[in-house]
C-alpha cells in the first residue's frame, strides 16, 4: 500500500486534490444513501437556533417535512424523494436536539416556521407543512401564526400536544386546508386526530382519514410501509390544494 501511494504522488506534479467535505451540519449522516440525493442546508439563525436539513427537488411548491420524536431527517427522506420526483421542492429537517441540530430554547412551532422561511428563501413560492406524530403536532402549532400562511397542512398521527407544541390550541385558529390522518389500530392517536379535526373550524377545508392500520406517523405514507388509503388521500389532498409546480 505504501509503494502504491508513493507511485501515485510521483506521477503527479500538482498538489493533492482536496477531499470534498459535507456542507451544513451533515443532516442525514445516519442514512447517507438517502441524504446524498439532496442538498445540505443550515437555517434558523434569525429565530435563535441552528437547524440542519436536506433539500430535495427544485419545484416552486415546497414541502416542509417534520419528523417524529426520537427520529431525524432519515425518517422522511424516502417519502421526500417521492415528492421531489413528483416535482416538489422538499425540506426535511432535524428539530433542535435531534440528528444534526444542536439543542436550543426555540419552540418546535418556531422551528417549523423557520423551515418554511428557509424553503421560501430557497425558491419555493408556495409551502406545505407536513409532519408525523410530534412533527404533526408541531406543524399544526406553527400554522396559525405563520406569515405568509402555508398553502396546506398535513398532520399524521398528531398528539393534541407535545412539549411546547399545542395543536389543540392551534386547531380552532387554522384557516388553511388541513389533512388529519392516523391508523385506526394505533393506540390513542386516531382519537387525537378526530379531536383535532373536530376542533378545526367547519369553514376551513379539513379532511380526516382513519385507515385500518397499525402504522404510525411518517410510516403511514412511507413508500415501503405506508397505508395505501392514506398515501392516496394525501396525494389527492396535495394535488387539490398545493400541486407541484
Are the CB atoms for 83 and 56 separated by under 8 Å? yes
Which residues, including other chains, have CB under 8 Å from residue 196's CB and lie 6 or more apart?
140, 155, 158, 160, 167, 168, 171, 180
C-alpha to C-alpha distance for 185 and 216, rounded to whole angstroms:
9
pLDDT band of 119, cuts 50, 70, 90: very high
C-alpha to C-alpha distance for 146 and 223, rounded to whole angstroms:
29
* Residue 112: exposure state from Cβ atoms within 10 A (0-12, 13-18, ≥19): buried
pLDDT at 231: 97
Residue corresponding to grid cell 501511494 = 5
- Tens of pLDDT, residues 98-117: 999 999 999 999 999 999 99
Average pLDDT taken over every residue of the chain: 91
- Tens of pLDDT, residues 21-54: 445 689 999 999 999 999 999 999 999 999 999 9
Residue 244 has pLDDT above 60, yes or no: yes
* Domains of the chain by start residue, with CATH: 27-241 (3.40.50.1820)
pLDDT at 18: 40
- Tens of pLDDT, residues 142-198: 999 999 999 999 999 999 999 999 999 999 999 999 999 999 999 999 999 999 999
pLDDT band of 17, cuts 50, 70, 90: very low
pLDDT at 23: 55
C-alpha to C-alpha distance for 226 and 157, rounded to whole angstroms:
13
Report yes or no on whether pTM surpasses 0.95: no
Residue 5 has pLDDT above 60, yes or no: no
Residue 216 has pLDDT above 70, yes or no: yes
Amino acid at each position: 500500500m505504501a509503494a502504491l501511494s508513493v507511485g501515485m504522488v510521483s506521477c503527479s506534479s500538482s498538489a493533492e486534490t482536496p477531499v470534498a467535505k459535507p456542507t451544513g451540519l451533515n443532516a442525514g449522516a445516519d442514512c447517507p444513501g438517502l441524504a446524498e440525493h439532496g442538498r445540505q442546508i443550515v437555517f434558523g439563525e434569525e429565530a435563535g437556533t441552528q437547524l440542519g436539513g436536506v433539500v430535495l427537488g427544485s419545484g416552486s411548491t415546497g414541502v416542509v417535512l417534520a419528523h417524529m420524536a426520537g427520529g431525524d431527517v432519515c425518517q422522511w427522506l424516502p417519502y421526500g424523494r417521492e415528492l421531489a420526483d413528483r416535482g416538489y421542492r422538499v425540506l426535511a429537517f432535524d428539530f433542535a436536539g435531534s440528528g444534526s441540530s444542536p439543542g436550543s430554547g426555540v419552540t418546535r412551532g418556531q422551528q417549523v416556521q423557520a423551515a418554511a422561511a428557509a424553503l421560501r428563501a430557497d425558491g419555493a413560492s408556495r409551502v406545505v407543512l407536513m409532519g408525523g406524530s410530534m412533527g404533526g403536532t408541531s406543524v399544526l402549532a406553527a400554522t396559525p401564526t405563520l406569515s405568509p400562511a402555508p398553502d396546506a397542512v398535513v398532520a399524521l398521527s398528531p398528539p393534541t400536544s407535545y412539549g411546547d407544541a399545542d395543536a389543540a390550541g392551534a386547531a380552532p385558529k387554522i384557516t388553511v386546508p388541513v389533512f388529519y390522518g392516523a391508523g385506526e389500530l394505533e393506540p390513542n392517536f386516531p382519537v387525537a386526530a378526530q379531536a383535532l379535526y373536530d376542533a378545526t373550524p367547519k369553514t376551513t377545508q379539513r379532511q380526516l382519514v382513519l385507515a385500518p392500520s397499525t402504522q404510525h406517523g411518517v410510516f403511514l405514507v412511507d413508500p415501503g410501509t405506508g397505508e395505501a388509503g392514506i398515501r392516496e388521500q394525501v396525494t389527492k389532498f396535495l394535488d387539490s390544494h398545493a400541486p407541484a409546480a
